[in-house]
Structure 1
Amino acid sequence: MDIARYEIPDAGTPVACRSCQARHGVVCGALSSSQLKELGRHSLRRKVEAGSEIVAQGSESSFYSNIMRGVVKLCKVMPDGRQQIVGLQFAPDFVGRPFVRESTLSAEAATDAELCVFPRSLLDRMIAETPELQRSLHDQALRELDAAREWMLTLGRRTAEEKVASLLYLIAAHAEPQTATSTAFDLPLSRAEIADFLGLTIETVSRQMTRLRKSGVIHIENFRHILVPDMDALERVSA
Structure 2
Amino acid sequence: MSVMVSEAESRCGECPIRHRAVCAKCEADELAQLEEIKYYRNYETGQTIAWAGDDLAFVASVVRGVATLSQTLEDGRTQMVGLLLPSDFIGRPSRATSPYDVVAVSEVTLCCFRRKPFQKMMERTPHIGERLLEMTLDELDAAREWMLILGRKTAREKIASLLTIIARRSTTLGVKAQAGPVQIDLPLTREAMADYLGLTLETVSRQISALKREGVIHLDGKRRIVVPDMLRLMEETGDDMDGGMIA
TM-score (norm 2): 0.85
SS at match of 1:87: strand
Which residue does the alignment assign to 2:233? Answer: 234
Which residue does the alignment assign to 2:217? Answer: 218
Displacement of 1:188 in angstroms is 0.9
Which residue does the alignment assign to 1:6? Answer: none
Displacement of 1:42 in angstroms is 2.5
Return 209-218 or 53-62, whichever deviates more. 53-62
2:79 to 81, 84, 91: 84
> 1:177·1:184 contact (CA, 8 Å) conserved in 2?
no
Per-residue CA deviations over 1:47-70 (Å, capped at 9, x if unaligned) read: 211111112211221111111111
Displacement of 1:26 in angstroms is 3.9
Gaps of 5+ in 1: 1-13
Map 1:75-154 onto structure 2 (within 5 A). Answer: 75-154=70-149
Which residue does the alignment assign to 2:244? Answer: none
Assess, with a 3 A threshold, how the Cα gap between structure 1 residues 122 and 213 changes in structure 2: closer, same or farther.
Answer: same
Which residue does the alignment assign to 2:192? Answer: 193
> 1:177·1:183 contact (CA, 8 Å) conserved in 2?
no
Cα distance in 2 between the residues matched to 1:40 and 1:155: 40
Assess, with a 3 A threshold, how the Cα gap between structure 1 residues 17 and 131 changes in structure 2: closer, same or farther.
Answer: closer
Which structure's residues are more often helix, by fraction? Answer: 1
Count of aligned pairs: 226
Which residue does the alignment assign to 1:9? Answer: none
Cα distance in 1 between the residues matched to 2:161 and 2:193: 11
The residue identity in structure 2 corresponding to 1:198 is L
Cα distance in 2 between the residues matched to 1:19 and 1:201: 42
Return 138-147 or 37-46, whichever deviates more. 37-46
Assess, with a 3 A threshold, how the Cα gap between structure 1 residues 133 and 43 changes in structure 2: closer, same or farther.
Answer: closer
Assess, with a 3 A threshold, how the Cα gap between structure 1 residues 181 and 95 changes in structure 2: closer, same or farther.
Answer: farther
Cα distance in 1 between the residues matched to 2:80 and 2:151: 16
Say whether 1:34 aligns with 2:34.
no
Which residue does the alignment assign to 1:5? Answer: none
Per-residue CA deviations over 1:153-177 (Å, capped at 9, x if unaligned) read: 0001000000011111111112248
The residue identity in structure 2 corresponding to 1:233 is R
Displacement of 1:15 in angstroms is 7.6
Cα distance in 2 between the residues matched to 1:75 and 1:62: 19
> 1:66·1:116 contact (CA, 8 Å) conserved in 2?
yes
Q: Percent identity?
A: 42
1:160 to 152, 155, 165: 155
Which residue does the alignment assign to 2:51? Answer: 56
TM-score (norm 1): 0.88
Per-residue CA deviations over 1:65-110 (Å, capped at 9, x if unaligned) read: 1111111111112222221111112112222223222221121111
> 1:22·1:28 contact (CA, 8 Å) conserved in 2?
no
Return 64-73 or 92-101, whichever deviates more. 92-101
SS at match of 1:165: helix
Assess, with a 3 A threshold, how the Cα gap between structure 1 residues 138 and 176 changes in structure 2: closer, same or farther.
Answer: closer
Cα RMSD (Å) of the superposition? Answer: 2.0
List structure 1 segments (4+ residues) > 3 angstroms apart after TM superposition.
176-181
The residue identity in structure 1 corresponding to 2:232 is A
